[in-house]
Every structure is written in C-alpha cells, then in structure tokens.
Structure 1
C-alpha cells in the first residue's frame, strides 16, 4: 500500500464516530438500506452490489466532519451507504464554493483513486453518514476483476462530468433568479424525497452555498428565495428545504412544466 493511501485511509477512519467490521464480516444485509436507482449502488445488480460492499471498513461519521481535504494526496474511496456529504472548493478570492452534494448510494473520492492526483475538493458530512472506506488498491482491483462494477463506476464518473457540463451550459445567458431556480430544481430532482407535488431535501444547505452554485451574490439569493417563499414555491424548516411545487419551479427554471 502506498504511504499516501495508508495515511489518507487512516485519516478517514480516525475521524469516525464509530466503526465496525471489515470485509465480508462487516457487510450489512442488502435490505438495511435502499438507494435511488440512479445512484451507483441502486443501479448495480444485487450480486455485483454485494461484491462491492465486501470492500473496506464500515464506518460512521458525525455531522460536520471533514472526510477529505482539497489538495491532499489521499486516495481512498468512500461508498456512501446513508446520509449526505457536500463537496466544496476554494475560489481564487478564497471563498468556499459548493461544488456538489452526494447521498447514500453514491461514490466519493474515486477521481483521486483512479488518477492518483491530489483531491480536487473538500468533502464534509451534512449529517450523520455511514460509509465503507476502501483503499485505492482494493477499489482498483475490484474494477479490474469485476466487469459489472467497472462499468457502473465508469458510468457514474461520466454522469458526474455530464452534470458539470450541463450546469455550465444551462447557466449561460440566464439571470440570477433563473439560475437559482435551476439549482433548486436540480437538487430537488437528484436528492429530494417526493412529497405530493413537491420534494423535501433533508440536509442543510445555506444561502452562501446556494449563491456559489448559482454563480451569484448572496443578497441576490436572499431576495430570490424570499420571492419564491412568498409565491408558495418553496419553504424552509430546521435543517430541511422543501419545494412545495416542482412544476412551478420547473416553469421558473426552464420555461416549461
């Protein structure tokens, strides 16, 4: 095992709230969690998913724990089983920019595992998180020897790159309220829990984070959110964000229902 991989994995496990089980002995029954079909775990056939979940150590993290830091040279991978994490990066003027959110069923840290380069983002838990911590060696071995897992991981990486490209294209020429509406709609569709005509997002997202995602100033986000709340399109609660009417939000975001 490379030194940077060993150090990185130790760092991830060292911040854990609790950790139990390694390898096959640490595997939880398949019915312990359910994952969206669009996620890595949700899209894998059961047998392939079970093989993937034999890797690494089952680990639990508390809220607000940094799991990976931007520019560090660790190469371990996290298979998220439950909870949400956010990926952030530093801008040229030293602001923290929210780059992505990952939920149970997603893979985190695979870029560094694949190319061996430093981390491109800082990853922090948005609430209690359960994951499997997998070394780079074990992760790459599983891809080399298991075609289904390799195909699923490659598809997951491509999907993330496509989302990033779409995000840039969608924002070209849009005003700030439209960009915010698109951000909220994308988050709700990818990570929200369906509730009638809307969706609820059960992890905290701040106005500064929304501002960085939408590429606009925080006061502008505050003003646009106020208008959305007054129109009954969104509402907020303790550690939750609710889209009351997805069709209306889609209309505001893309001009169609």
Structure 2
C-alpha cells in the first residue's frame, strides 16, 4: 500500500481543538496507509494500541463469535476515530475494524503520543470522554434491545439510528448507499430475510421508499413512534 505524505489530520473531529501546527506535527508522527474495501485495519484481540484516524473513506467496527458469526457495531466515516479504547485502558482490542471503501486512508498514531495529546489539552480530553461515553450508551441500548425486543422491532430501532444521522428539515431521512440487508441483520442479530420482510412492511405502510440509489425514510415521526411504542 502507498504512503500518504501530503494528507492532514484537519478533518479529524477529536483533534479539531488543537491548533493547526500541532495537528501538522502529529501528522508527521503518524504511520499512514491506504486500505482496499474488505481489508482488515485492526484485528480483534490484537495487542496493538495505536489509535486510527479515518482521513478518507469509511470503516466498519465488527466482532466475531467463536463460531465465526459476525456482529456489526458501527460504520464510521472520514473524520472519525477508532482504537482509542485500547490506547486508554491498555487492554486488547475488543473488536475488529475493516475498510468499506477502496482508498480508505488511515493515520495510525501511537498510544503514548495519543495519551499525551488527550491529557495535555482539556478540550481534546473532553472530546475523548464524550466519544467513549457515546460508545457506552450505544452498547447499553443494544443490550437492552437484544434482551427485550423482537427481531422486527430491533430492525426498526437500527433504521431509526441510521435515519437520525441523516435527518432532513422536512422530517425525512435519506440513507445512501442503500443499507445491505445482511449488514443490517448483523447489527441486530437477525437474518437478512427478516430485514427484507420488515423493509417491505414499512414500504407498504408508506414509512420508507426505495429509490434507485437510496433508502428514503418518508415518515421519520412514524418510525420513531414504532420504536417508542415497544420501548415503553
């Protein structure tokens, strides 16, 4: 893979509190690498502690059971960060990370340097704490959903999470590219057939619509009501 010698860390959300010259200094300390779609970036249970900044492309955070079943946790685009948990607590990786797009560009920063940055700047420290808090909250939500909701309702909840990231002022949301049924199923521990059936039901009710290149949530408020009803 080629090295990126002119890329910057200016788009990385966690590092935006830093002055430009400090980000440039950190960029020079990073190990840069391009990844192809499907290529592994971080290995689950690995002892590495580097923090990965996603400069270009999108990555997926996944875990695998002893039987090889894949569970997908999150997709993170350019500007995001992965691997900070291992850097903070010194424990092995709890999940694997793989590239979703060709040309995904990752900047690897050593754990020691990352911790020096995080502890040396209060705004970066706060950003890291908020990021880790968000991970914990989403994990708690998923545990509750897996324990209390049926498969159909879990698909509704996951669609709602994706839709809220892409909410538009008119009360709709556009998911582009169209979520793959198998990927949605992996996120909520169900089958692609169940996902297909749920999407068909939502389309029949006018809540979602599939276009040539996107899944449109036509009525976000109704989807929210479906999820709220079973969570009550």
Which bracket does the TM-score occupy, shorter chain normalised? 0.7 to 0.9
Q: Match for residue 127 of structure 2?
A: 152
- Check if 1:64 corresponds to 2:38: yes
Q: CA deviation at 1:165?
A: 0.6
Aligned length: 226
Flag structure 1 segments of 5+ consecutive residues without an equivalent: 1-15
- Give the secondary structure class of the aligned counterpart of 1:81: strand
Matches within 5 A, 1:132-143: 132-143=107-118
Flag structure 2 segments of 5+ consecutive residues without an equivalent: none
TM-score of the pair, normalised by structure 2? 0.81
Contact 1:84–1:203 (CA under 8 A) maintained in structure 2: no
Deviations along 1:61-87, one digit per CA (max 9) or x if unpaired, are 332221111122222111223432111
Report the aligned-residue RMSD: 2.9
Summarize the Cα distance change of 1:215–1:202 in structure 2 as closer, same or farther, 3 Å threshold: same
Summarize the Cα distance change of 1:126–1:205 in structure 2 as closer, same or farther, 3 Å threshold: farther
After TM superposition, the structure 1 stretch with the greater mean CA deviation from structure 2, 238-247 or 128-137, is: 238-247
Q: CA deviation at 1:184?
A: 0.7
Q: Match for residue 207 of structure 1?
A: 181
Contact 2:14–2:124 (CA under 8 A) maintained in structure 1: no
Deviations along 1:14-43, one digit per CA (max 9) or x if unpaired, are xx4x4323xxx7536x5xx5x8xxx646xx
Q: Match for residue 173 of structure 1?
A: 148
For 2:151 and 2:190, how far apart are their aligned partners in 1?
6
Contact 2:71–2:189 (CA under 8 A) maintained in structure 1: no
Q: Match for residue 9 of structure 1?
A: none
Q: 2:85 aligns with which of 89, 111, 127?
A: 111
For 1:187 and 1:58, how far apart are their aligned partners in 2?
29
Q: 2:98 aligns with which of 107, 111, 124?
A: 124
- Check if 1:75 corresponds to 2:49: yes
Summarize the Cα distance change of 1:135–1:235 in structure 2 as closer, same or farther, 3 Å threshold: farther
For 1:53 and 1:115, how far apart are their aligned partners in 2?
26
Summarize the Cα distance change of 1:248–1:49 in structure 2 as closer, same or farther, 3 Å threshold: farther
Q: CA deviation at 1:138?
A: 1.6
After TM superposition, the structure 1 stretch with the greater mean CA deviation from structure 2, 88-97 or 128-137, is: 128-137
Q: CA deviation at 1:188?
A: 2.0
Summarize the Cα distance change of 1:90–1:236 in structure 2 as closer, same or farther, 3 Å threshold: farther
- Give the secondary structure class of the aligned counterpart of 1:194: coil
For 1:213 and 1:196, how far apart are their aligned partners in 2?
28
Contact 1:81–1:104 (CA under 8 A) maintained in structure 2: yes
